[in-house]
Amino acid sequence: MNYSNKIGCYQGDCDVLLGKYPKFSDYVKEFSRTQLGKGLDLGCGPGACNGKFFQSCTLDGCDADKSVVDSAPEDYQDCFAFKLGKDSLPYNDENKDFVILSCVIQHLNSYDELVTGLADVARILKPTGQLFLMFKAGANDTQLTHYNEVYNEIREFRVFHPDNIQELAKKNLKLRVISCENLLDDNWIPYSCMVLEKQSLHGQSVSL
């Protein structure tokens, strides 16, 4: 889904109807409090609104649209165009301490793209590095269509079931789930918010 036409009107945050916090941004803020070192905001969106929460870290950003990348503020050290599930991240293995993947995987075309994309994310995470993963949830690998009042348009998304994500993370990606919460946004659409941690070289992970 192209966001180049939403740079000036991007809905960078929204209300949570059912959940621990009242805003989506509150979940990113909570994650930011435990993070240090080098991170990547993958799918940063117009204006890259997550960067302001990670002032004690070195943060890169990327997005599928070049015009969206160009809209990112100076909070990001490096910004580049990138398509999850299709491109390979331009980093060596175990390069990042954390990755933010918020409201991105719902824009993928298939479960195969999800597997490929998350494997690449897991590759660049350092041992005990963490992934913040928020996504629209539903019957696994199905299409969701809804009307968005903010943009006045019909929108389509690919949804995934949290159980399938957790199984993939554990069996294929060597990531363990630190936390998982299901919530409901102001369009009455269910979401899942997870924090996953990469196993260390000895097969163990460390909780923060």
Unique residue bearing structure tokens 């097969």: 203
Return d(Cα 116, Cα 120) in angstroms, integer. 6
**Worst-scoring range by mean pLDDT, 15-19, 38-42, 192-196, 204-208?**
204-208
**Residue spans per domain, the chain:** 14-198
Would you tell me how many other CB atoms lie within 10 Å of the CB of residue 12?
13
Instruction: Report the amino acid identity of residue 183.
Output: L
Indicate whether 207 pLDDT > 60. Answer: no
Residue 203: half-sphere exposure toward Cβ, Cα within 13 Å: 1
pLDDT, tens digit, 9 for 90 and up, residues 174-203:
999 999 999 999 999 999 999 999 998 655
Instruction: Report the amino acid identity of residue 11.
Output: Q
CATH of segment(s) 14-198: 3.40.50.150
pLDDT, tens digit, 9 for 90 and up, residues 63-85:
999 999 999 988 899 999 999 99
pLDDT, tens digit, 9 for 90 and up, residues 106-125:
999 999 999 999 999 999 99
Residue 182 near residue 162, CB atoms below 8 Å: yes
